[in-house]
């Protein structure tokens, strides 16, 4: 009898859990404003990112992928992230104006070029996403840098204020 009660309890608790489905990426429009800069995202060069969080009905936009990835790891910023989508720059029409729609991919599935000579939408170093690692490697031939997986992006590269990528102020 106890085993039946346990099974019933598990079934009831499982049924009560809220099922949360990550939304699909949305098209980039002129209405999208950068989370940190409050500027029109589409007006900036380089890859962009959109973040979806639980209990928010719209995407949170970023003028650079690096800013979105930093947002995801900063204490007090990201709250219950459901999905992060980034431009697949291997399929982009150009650096200055990547496609507004159709080339989004999950950030966790991308290969990133870091340490390249290309700068993101706000002029800072960028984490440049590619769906195809061969296209990422080809990018490094022309623009320098190295290819890393999502989980291998150094935290201090994203945050930029300490470690190997931090300031050289000598403080």
Q: Is residue 31 part of a domain?
A: yes
Task: Give this prediction's pTM.
Answer: 0.83
User: Alpha-carbon distance 39 to 35, whole Å?
Assistant: 8
Q: What's the pLDDT tens digit per position in 24-41?
A: 999 999 999 999 998 999
Q: Is residue 125 part of a domain?
A: yes
> In DSSP terms, which residues pair with 163 in a beta bridge?
none
Q: Is the pLDDT of residue 140 over 50?
A: yes
pLDDT-derived band of residue 3, with 50, 70 and 90 as boundaries?
low
Average pLDDT over residues 35-53: 94
CATH number of the domain that residue 90 is part of: 3.30.70.2060
Residue 109 structural domain: 22-165
Gyration radius (Cα) of the chain, Å: 19
Q: Is residue 81 part of a domain?
A: yes
Q: Is the pLDDT of residue 162 over 80?
A: no
Question: HEC string of the chain?
Answer: CHHHHHHHHHHHHHHHCCCCCCCCCCCCCCCCEECCCCCEHHHCCCCCEEEEECCCCCCEEECCHHHHHHHHHCCCCCCCEEEEEEECCCCCCCCCCCCCCCCEEEHHHCEEEECCCCECCCCCECCEEECCHHHHHHHHHHHCCEEEEHHHCCHHHHHCCCHHHCCCCCC
Q: Is residue 94 part of a domain?
A: yes
Q: Is residue 13 part of a domain?
A: no
Q: Is residue 7 part of a domain?
A: no
Q: Is residue 8 part of a domain?
A: no
Tokens, residue 171? 């403080």
Q: What's the pLDDT tens digit per position in 60-83?
A: 999 999 999 999 999 888 889 999
Task: Look at residue 18 in the predicted model and tell me its pLDDT.
Answer: 60
Q: Is residue 5 part of a domain?
A: no
CB atoms within 10 A of CB 92: 18
pLDDT-derived band of residue 134, with 50, 70 and 90 as boundaries?
very high
Number of domains into which the chain is organized: 1
- List the single range of 13-17, 51-55, 108-112, 135-139 with lowest mean pLDDT: 13-17
Q: What's the pLDDT tens digit per position in 99-125?
A: 888 899 999 999 999 999 999 888 889
């Amino acid at each position: 009898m106890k085993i039946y009660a346990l099974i019933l309890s598990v079934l009831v608790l499982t049924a009560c859990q809220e099922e949360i489905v990550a939304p699909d990426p949305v098209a980039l429009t002129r209405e999208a404003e950068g989370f940190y800069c409050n500027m029109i995202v589409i007006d900036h060069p380089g890859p962009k990112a959109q973040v979806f969080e639980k209990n928010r009905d719209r995407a949170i936009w970023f003028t650079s992928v690096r800013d979105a990835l930093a947002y995801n790891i900063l204490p007090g910023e990201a709250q219950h992230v459901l999905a992060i989508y980034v431009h697949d720059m291997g399929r982009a029409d150009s650096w200055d104006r990547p496609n507004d729609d159709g080339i989004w991919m999950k950030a966790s599935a991308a290969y990133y070029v870091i340490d390249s000579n290309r700068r993101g939408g706000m002029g800072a170093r960028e984490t440049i996403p590619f769906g195809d690692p061969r296209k990422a490697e080809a990018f490094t031939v022309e623009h320098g840098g190295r290819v890393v997986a999502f989980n291998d992006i150094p935290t201090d590269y994203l945050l930029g204020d300490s470690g190997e990528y931090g300031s050289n102020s000598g403080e």
